[in-house]
């Protein structure tokens, strides 16, 4: 693909100007937040996408989601970023309900692959030209698209599988009685016709042996199923199969008042609850225009950085387990335990905090917790050195990670990698620096970057990030401003008819939250979660093909996925 890193256009206004001349009649404007907002008709979307990538330098697709606009059809929203120039652009395109088709942008941004599959799965928008438009979160024989507003759940009560109903000869095809036929376009059931769906298994081996790594496997970090076609120890082809942990977060969020969604966000990436809460609250604050007091922002930064350390500690432990070293895991756990105690002191919970609230945080820092945090930070640098001594210099560790699963700079950007996975490949892109939120511009920290983009680089970046996070946390704690911990929030959450997209640098990468208000309700019309693990998992076939089985384990460990976030 064309190298896009060199193309940069000066200002957002210049971008709008270029767009206006290249695509006459396109609605483009620059919002006060700096975002460029573009409406384009679907016929010109493919050309438009190629133009903005090649000519305007929008090389990074942050997010793609679809919104049900009822009578006006479906709206597909692309959030694009130019990593070089730092521009952000939201692209809206619509398609009518009865012809829900939009050209695919996967050929332009490969990362759109799974985003589009998800949009097809949950919203039923067909992406023309997509290489492999299958369902991704729901099972393949699901009927209907649940995020459509006219969706009616017509599943039969769950039927028990008995010894008699188990058909070993049907392992490769799945036969399901799907009950009544799905509702038509008008929302009416099209009659009590019983249908049987037969879905051929998509994973027929070409050669070699196909092994299922997961969903029950010790090193897939949850319920991930990796289908690997192997020849001896070598992987010929591998594919991630996800959705085992799908719990309809986005659908649930549509039925809850804005503040009540926060506890659910804790459970997406359950290792970084604070970051998720922060990402959601930032989006809602942006939607409602809520001001957050400085003290609350500083506390949020403190929490986010401690959370990053806690999450990276867990990653360090499990990554070493993946490589067969058990001991570092317990050392990492010892430190993480102290952090969880701190979180418990502050929020009352160890994992599901519900601490960051819209407009601020739930409560001020309790008295004495600063001593606890300082004690942790004081010993942390020495502990980090200890971790390095335990694992980093080990020749076996080096041999297992150096030059393994190299992710090039171009691939990292094209596949939407973010966070340490992107920086491990040598792209110094950190949202805390590029688009500061919560006053990150006031803190002094470095952004560690890798060179070759191998497993070792991603490892080193994360290890160094912990040190930098500790620095930020100390600065936040020392410079904690006086004042309120909660801003002024509306009494009634009447959502404006607008949308907001927040991007937060989470431990695993960019957490993006897209919130849409409908102009009348207290509930969000649509919430979409851009989960870094979901995006990163697309890298598995890219990185894993041609490696050994043991390397795939290292790759999964090095991109640091959390299945709760992948499946949502």
For the bound state, the minimum distance from the C-beta of residue 218 to another protein, rounded and expressed in Å, comes to 5
For another protein, the closer of residues 12 and 544 by Cβ is 544
- Taking CB under 8 A as the criterion, the residue among 399, 408, 441, 496 binding another protein is 399
- Interface stretch with another protein, choices 1-9, 130-138, 291-299, 390-398 (CB under 8 A): 390-398
Element (H, E) at 198: strand 194-200
For the bound state, the minimum distance from the C-beta of residue 566 to another protein, rounded and expressed in Å, comes to 19
Q: Is the N-terminal amide bond of 215 cis, ω within 30° of 0?
A: yes
For the bound state, the minimum distance from the C-beta of residue 209 to another protein, rounded and expressed in Å, comes to 6
431-465 CB burial, b ≥16 within 10 A, e <16: bbbbbebbbbeebebebbbbeebbbbbbbbbbbbb
For the bound state, the minimum distance from the C-beta of residue 456 to another protein, rounded and expressed in Å, comes to 13
- Interface stretch with another protein, choices 296-304, 350-358, 388-396, 460-468 (CB under 8 A): 388-396
For the bound state, the minimum distance from the C-beta of residue 222 to another protein, rounded and expressed in Å, comes to 14
CB under 8 Å to 227, separation ≥6 — which residues? 203, 210, 211, 212, 213, 238, 239, 240, 241
For another protein, the closer of residues 25 and 393 by Cβ is 393
CA dihedral 440, 445, 449, 455 (to 10 degrees): -90
- Taking CB under 8 A as the criterion, the residue among 5, 211, 256, 447 binding another protein is 211
- Taking CB under 8 A as the criterion, the residue among 205, 218, 289, 366 binding another protein is 218
Tell me the two tokens of residue 330: 């317990």
Element (H, E) at 505: strand 499-505
* Residue 119 contacts residue 66 (beta carbons within 8 Å): yes
**Contacting another protein within 318-357 (CB under 8 A):** 320-327, 330-331, 334
For the bound state, the minimum distance from the C-beta of residue 232 to another protein, rounded and expressed in Å, comes to 8
For the bound state, the minimum distance from the C-beta of residue 329 to another protein, rounded and expressed in Å, comes to 8
For another protein, the closer of residues 98 and 164 by Cβ is 164
**Contacting another protein within 69-98 (CB under 8 A):** none
Q: Interface with another protein includes 233 (CB under 8 A)?
A: yes
- Residue 365: DSSP 8-state: P
184-208 CB burial, b ≥16 within 10 A, e <16: eeeeeeeeeeeeeeeeeeeeeeeee
* Residue 484 contacts residue 268 (beta carbons within 8 Å): no
- Interface stretch with another protein, choices 8-16, 190-198, 209-217, 508-516 (CB under 8 A): 209-217
CB under 8 Å to 348, separation ≥6 — which residues? none
Distance between CA atoms of residues 207 and 205, nearest Å:
6
Tell me the two tokens of residue 301: 């930064």
- Taking CB under 8 A as the criterion, the residue among 209, 375, 446, 497 binding another protein is 209
Tell me the two tokens of residue 483: 């004042």
Q: Interface with another protein includes 170 (CB under 8 A)?
A: no
Task: Give the per-residue contact string, 400-439, with another protein (x = CB under 8 A; - = no).
Answer: x---------------------------------------
For the bound state, the minimum distance from the C-beta of residue 451 to another protein, rounded and expressed in Å, comes to 22
**Contacting another protein within 531-560 (CB under 8 A):** 548-551, 553
How many residues of this chain bind another protein (CB under 8 A)? 28
CB-count burial class (<10 Å; 0-12, 13-18, 19+) for 544:
buried
Percentages of the chain per state (helix, strand, coil), in multiples of 5:
40, 20, 40
For another protein, the closer of residues 170 and 334 by Cβ is 334
For the bound state, the minimum distance from the C-beta of residue 29 to another protein, rounded and expressed in Å, comes to 51
- Interface stretch with another protein, choices 175-183, 196-204, 214-222, 511-519 (CB under 8 A): 214-222
Q: Interface with another protein includes 383 (CB under 8 A)?
A: no
* Residue 457 contacts residue 545 (beta carbons within 8 Å): no
CA dihedral 75, 564, 419, 250 (to 10 degrees): 20
For another protein, the closer of residues 225 and 494 by Cβ is 225
Binding site for another protein (CB under 8 A): 209, 211, 217-219, 233, 320-327, 330-331, 334, 391, 394, 396-397, 399-400, 548-551, 553
């Amino acid at each position: 693909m064309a190298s896009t890193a060199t193309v940069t256009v000066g200002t957002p206004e210049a971008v709008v100007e270029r767009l206006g001349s290249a695509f006459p009649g396109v609605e483009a404007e620059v919002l006060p937040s700096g975002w460029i907002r573009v409406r384009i008709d679907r016929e010109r979307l493919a050309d438009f996408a190629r133009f903005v990538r090649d000519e305007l330098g929008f090389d990074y697709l942050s997010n793609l989601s679809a919104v049900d606009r009822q009578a006006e059809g479906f709206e597909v929203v692309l959030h694009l970023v130019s990593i070089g120039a730092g521009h952000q652009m939201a692209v809206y395109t619509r398609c009518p309900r009865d012809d829900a088709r939009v050209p695919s942008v996967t050929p332009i941004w490969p990362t759109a692959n799974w985003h589009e599959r998800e949009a097809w799965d949950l919203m039923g928008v067909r992406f023309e030209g997509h290489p492999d438009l299958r369902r991704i979160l729901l099972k393949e024989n699901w009927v209907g698209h649940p995020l459509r507003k006219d969706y009616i759940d017509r599943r039969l009560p769950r039927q028990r599988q008995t010894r008699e109903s188990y058909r070993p000869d049907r392992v490769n095809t799945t036969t399901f009685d799907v009950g009544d036929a799905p509702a038509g376009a008008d929302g009416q059931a099209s009659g009590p016709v019983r249908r049987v769906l037969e879905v051929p298994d998509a994973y027929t081996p070409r050669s070699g042996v196909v092994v299922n790594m997961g969903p029950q496997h010790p090193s897939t970090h949850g319920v991930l199923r990796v289908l690997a076609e192997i020849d001896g120890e070598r992987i010929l082809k591998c594919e991630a199969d996800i959705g085992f942990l799908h719990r309809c977060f986005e659908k649930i969020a549509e039925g809850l008042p804005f503040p009540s969604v926060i506890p659910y966000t804790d459970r997406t990436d359950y290792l970084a609850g604070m970051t998720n809460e922060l990402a959601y609250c930032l989006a809602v604050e942006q939607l409602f225009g809520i001001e957050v007091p400085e003290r609350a922002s500083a506390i949020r930064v403190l929490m986010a950085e401690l959370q990053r350390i806690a999450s990276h500690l867990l990653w360090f432990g499990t990554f070493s387990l993946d490589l067969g070293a058990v001991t570092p895991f317990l050392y990492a756990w010892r430190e993480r335990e102290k952090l969880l105690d701190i979180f418990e002191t502050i929020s009352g919970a160890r994992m599901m905090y519900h601490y960051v609230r819209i407009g601020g945080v739930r409560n001020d820092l309790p008295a004495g917790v600063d001593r606890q945090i300082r004690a942790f930070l004081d010993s942390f640098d020495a502990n980090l050195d200890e971790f390095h001594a335990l694992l980093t210099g080990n020749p076996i560790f080096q041999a297992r990670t150096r030059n393994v699963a190299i992710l090039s700079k171009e691939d990292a950007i094209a596949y939407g990698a973010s966070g340490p996975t992107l920086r491990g490949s040598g792209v110094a892109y950190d949202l805390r620096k590029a688009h500061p939120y919560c006053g990150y511009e006031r803190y002094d920290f470095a952004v560690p970057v890798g060179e070759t983009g191998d497993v070792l680089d991603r490892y080193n970046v994360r290890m160094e990030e912990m040190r930098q996070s500790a620095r930020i946390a100390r600065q936040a704690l020392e410079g904690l401003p006086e004042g309120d911990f909660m801003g002024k929030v509306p009494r009634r959450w009447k959502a404006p008819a607008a949308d907001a997209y927040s991007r937060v640098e989470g431990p695993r990468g960019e957490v993006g939250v897209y919130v849409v208000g409908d102009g009348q309700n207290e509930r969000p019309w649509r919430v979409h979660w851009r989960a870094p693990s979901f995006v990163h998992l697309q890298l598995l076939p890219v990185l894993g093909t041609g490696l050994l089985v043991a390397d795939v384990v290292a790759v999964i460990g090095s991109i640091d996925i959390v299945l709760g976030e992948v499946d949502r």
